[in-house]
Structure 1
Amino acid sequence: MVMFNYIVMCFVFGTTFLAIKIGMDAGAPPFFSAGSRFFLAGLILFLIMKWRGKAKWRILLRKEMLLSGFALTFGTFSTLYWAEQYVSSGMAGILSATGPLMIMLWQVMLFRQKVPFVSAIGGVIGFAGVVVLFMPALYTEVSGLWLAGCLLILAGEMSYSGGALYSKHVIQHFSETSPIALNAAQMMYGGAMLFLLSAFTETLELPVMAQPAAWGSLLYLTVAGSMIGHTLFYWLVSKKDPVFPSTWLYISPLIALCLGAVVYNEKVTVMSVLGGITIIAGIALVNAEAVRSMISHKTKKIA
């Protein structure tokens, strides 16, 4: 059951980038689409947790939910949705895999935390992969919007990684509340902030949202991407070491790249494949110490 749920989670996370791209190409407003997805998913999940007695209404009044929602949902997905108007879904998936590299940066810059030598080498390799992805832009004409989109995705991952570090503190502080309920609450706040941004920057056209591509993308991302994918992630965390479910970052970006090419006829270059593999290799080295600790712990338990 664990491996089945893991495979489903990796596939779902890998398909979300193409689903976003389809909605953006249909003309759906990026901030409104992202806000709808996360607010609805968060509301439904929170109500389920409340019904099961694993959440209380007062958690919604805590500033920690607001701050988590700003970093994890608003900062990450306002940039990603906007960027996918101009960046391919495969490229977006690969750039979004840089989250663990950004976490390492936060740990070094803010907390002066020393990282293992292997992890430091992994960080260098991972960022070299990002450079490889951008290299074709030095030899071919690319639009300023494409470049802005790529940089915004990286900025969004900085936001997400900062939020991920902060959320560890939040989960420990609210240990009596289900992590799924905490995630649902931050999604609601993030979704509300996205709605607010949309109100000031976008015009909602109902005929556009009525297109099958637009509402189908929203429905899939709400149910599969936000509800099923994230619930499976937290279920796997509860069953296994957190390092194991986090390895979706090694698989989902390549799924996104392949789906974009096969299903959506996105152009895949040798450099994009090479850059993607280099980034994933860097992430694997960044997490090598955690994986080694997990294996060592399991070996001791068996002994």
Structure 2
Amino acid sequence: MILFNYLLICLIFGTTFLAIKIGVDAAAPPFFSAGLRFFVAGLVLYVWMVGRKKASFSLLLHKEMLLTGIGLTFGTFATLYWAEQYVTSGIAAVLSATGPIMILVLQMVVMRQKPTPRSVWGCIIGFSGVILLLLPSLTLSASGWWVLGCIAILIGEFFYSWGALYSKRVIQRFPEASPIALNAAQMIYGGLLLLLLSAFTEHDPFASLQSPGAIGSLLYLIVIGSMVGHSLFYWLVAKTNPVFPATWLYVSPLIALSIGAMFYGETISWITILGVITIIAGIVMVNLDNLNQLFRRRKSESKKLREVHS
């Protein structure tokens, strides 16, 4: 069941980038559709957790929920949705996978944590992969909006990295709260901020959200992308540990690139493939110590179980 759910979240998260692209290409306002997605998904999940008596509405009154929402939802997805107007879904997925590298950089610069040499090399290799991805369009004839879109996604990943580090402190401060409830609360706040941004920047968003592509994209992202995908993610965290489920970042960009090329006509050059491989190699190096620790722990647990049964 664990392996099946892991493969399922890789598939879900890998397809959300194309779903976003279909929505924005159908003229769905990026900030409004992102805000509606997360506010509705967060609200439904939170009410469900309250109904199961695993959360209380008083949790929403804490400023930590707002701050986490700014990092994990508002900053991350305002930039991603806006950027996918100009960037293919596959490239967006690959650039979004740089989050673990940015987390390491923040830990080094802000938290003064000393990294391992392997992690530093992982950062250098991952950054080289980003340069390789950008190279084909860094010419005199390149679209400036394409470059700005790529930069926006990287800025969004900075927000995500800050939010991920901050959320660890929030989980420790509210140990009695369900991780699903905490995630739902930050989605509510992040969604509200996105809707507020839409109110100031997008004209008559409801009128632009009436095409089948825009509606289908929004429904898929609310139900499958946010409610099912994030719930499965936190289920895996509870059943295993925080490291193993997060390895979807290594798999989903490949899925996003493949389905974008097969079903949406997105082009993939050999330099793009080289950039993807380089970025994923860098991410793996950054997280190799955690992955080795995870595999050793699982091997030890399996050995103990065999000894008990024997």
Indicate the RMSD between aligned Cα atoms, in angstroms.
1.1
Q: Indicate yes or no: 2:156 matched with 1:147.
A: no
Question: 1:143: Cα distance to partner?
Answer: 1.4
SS of 2:264's equivalent? coil
C-alpha contact (below 8 Å) 2:32/2:205 kept by paired residues: no
Distance in 2, Cα, partners of 1:18 & 1:145: 19
What is residue 4 of structure 1 aligned with on the other side?
4
Distance in 2, Cα, partners of 1:105 & 1:66: 24
Question: 1:136: Cα distance to partner?
Answer: 1.1
What is residue 223 of structure 2 aligned with on the other side?
223
What is residue 185 of structure 2 aligned with on the other side?
185
What is residue 90 of structure 2 aligned with on the other side?
90
What is residue 21 of structure 1 aligned with on the other side?
21
Change (3 A) 1:140 1:268: farther
Change (3 A) 1:297 1:205: closer
SS of 1:135's equivalent? helix
The TM-score with structure 1 as length reference comes to 0.98
Question: 1:139: Cα distance to partner?
Answer: 3.9
Distance in 2, Cα, partners of 1:21 & 1:297: 39
Distance in 2, Cα, partners of 1:116 & 1:36: 41
Distance in 2, Cα, partners of 1:222 & 1:30: 14
What is residue 80 of structure 1 aligned with on the other side?
80
Letter in 2 for 1:204: D
What is residue 129 of structure 1 aligned with on the other side?
129
What is residue 48 of structure 1 aligned with on the other side?
48
Aligned pair count reads: 303
Cα shift readout 1:232-283 (whole Å, capped 9, x = no counterpart): 1000000012211111011001111111111000111111111111101111
Distance in 2, Cα, partners of 1:295 & 1:268: 33
SS of 2:268's equivalent? coil
**Structure 1 stretch displaced more, 269-278 or 206-215:** 206-215
Distance in 2, Cα, partners of 1:49 & 1:105: 35
Cα shift readout 1:98-127 (whole Å, capped 9, x = no counterpart): 000000010011011111111111111111
Distance in 1, Cα, partners of 2:44 & 2:72: 18
Question: 1:197: Cα distance to partner?
Answer: 0.3
Q: Indicate yes or no: 2:254 matched with 1:263.
A: no
What stretches of structure 1 of length at least 5 have no aligned partner? none
Cα shift readout 1:32-60 (whole Å, capped 9, x = no counterpart): 00000000000000011101111011100
1:106-255 alignment, distance < 5 Å: 106-139=106-139, 141-255=141-255
What is residue 308 of structure 2 aligned with on the other side?
none
What stretches of structure 2 of length at least 5 have no aligned partner? 305-310
Distance in 2, Cα, partners of 1:205 & 1:136: 34
What is residue 283 of structure 1 aligned with on the other side?
283
**Structure 1 stretch displaced more, 81-90 or 291-300:** 291-300
Question: 1:141: Cα distance to partner?
Answer: 1.7
The TM-score with structure 2 as length reference comes to 0.96
Question: 1:210: Cα distance to partner?
Answer: 1.4
